Amino acid sequence: MSRKIFTYAALLMVAAIYIGPLLWMVSTSCKTSSEAVADPPRWVPVSDVYLDQRARGESLGKALPGEISHRASVIKENYYDKVIADPGFDFILYTRNTLIIALLSAGGAMLSSSLVAYSLTKVNWRGRGVLFAVVLATMMLPFTVVMVPQYDLFRRLGWIGTNLPLWVPSWFGVPFFIFLLRQFYMTIPNELSDAARIDGCSDLRIWWQIILPLSRPALTVVGLFAFMGAWRDFLGPLIYLAHQRTFTLSLALQFFQSRGGGTSWELLMAATLLVIAPIIVLFFLAQKTFIQGIATTGIKG
């Protein structure tokens, strides 16, 4: 029993390290400008008026309704009036831009990477092991190494200033996702594809009608990783996007923070929470399939 208590205590301490900053971000986003920079800082966003009322001995039932009304007004002002409805910060446009890029990136990564992984696993051809080693080797290259050559390539194609460089490469296979899907496909019996070939199915039809339906958990992992990577990407949009109307949320958030020499902390935290909220919701909605995909990927190699 004592060992179990110690284990849970250790897990709670580790969880607090990650949850603490998020809770502080939520708390700050619900404060006014003066409350956000108060010293000492307050974890619970309460006004000085409420604290004075409680110090004078007023009952909770008399002081709390006014504080709740005041806090709701502050939250509406921070999130809606000064972020979503800010005429100088088109949050809806930036969200649409980011969503388009993230969906195209996720769709391209799932289709192209699964097709490449299928050819490296279920199709016998000379040199596939060498090619797979080359694919793995490209994972060792950091983005900063290929950044200049890629920029020159996209400049020659006339894509600079558009979102094409941010999602088109994912339609040509992503090495890490190819590796994950290859490991998953190795757990699928070869008898399934062999039987389909005997019935006259082509490899493309086997991949589309047999392999893809069986690989939904692994494809969910790939889709989530690709979507999250595109959603939070900052360096790519910073390099390729030149006009404010094409900005993604991550790039627009930096613009929001730096305009006019700086932004109030409570507004920056509110904008940041609005940016990361879709990712959190998406993860919880697909949590079961996501965990299943992680558990079944890479168990054979």
Cα–Cα dist 209/234, whole Å: 37
Q: Are residues 142 and 247 in the same domain?
A: yes
Q: Are residue 247 and residue 113 in the same domain, yes or no?
A: yes
Q: For residue range 33-68, list pLDDT tens digits in order.
A: 888 888 888 888 888 787 788 778 777 777 788 888
Kindly tell me if the per-residue pLDDT of 297 is higher than 80.
no
pLDDT band for position 300 (50/70/90)? very low
- The range of the structural domain enclosing residue 60 comes to 2-84
Q: From CA 143, how far away is CA 72, in angstroms rounded?
A: 44
Please give the pLDDT value at position 295.
Answer: 58
| CB 258 within 8 Å of CB 23 | no
Indicate the number of domains in the chain.
2
Among 36, 64, 84, which residue terminates a domain? 84
| 183 located within any domain | yes
Express each pLDDT in 200-241 by its tens digit: 888 899 999 989 988 888 898 899 899 999 999 999 999 999
Let me know if residue 240 belongs to a domain.
yes
- Crossing angle of helices 216-232 and 91-121, rounded to 10°: 140
From 35, 52, 84, the end of a domain falls on 84
Q: Which of 84, 119, 148 is the last residue of a domain?
A: 84
In a domain, 301, yes or no: no
Residues 265 and 155 in one domain: yes
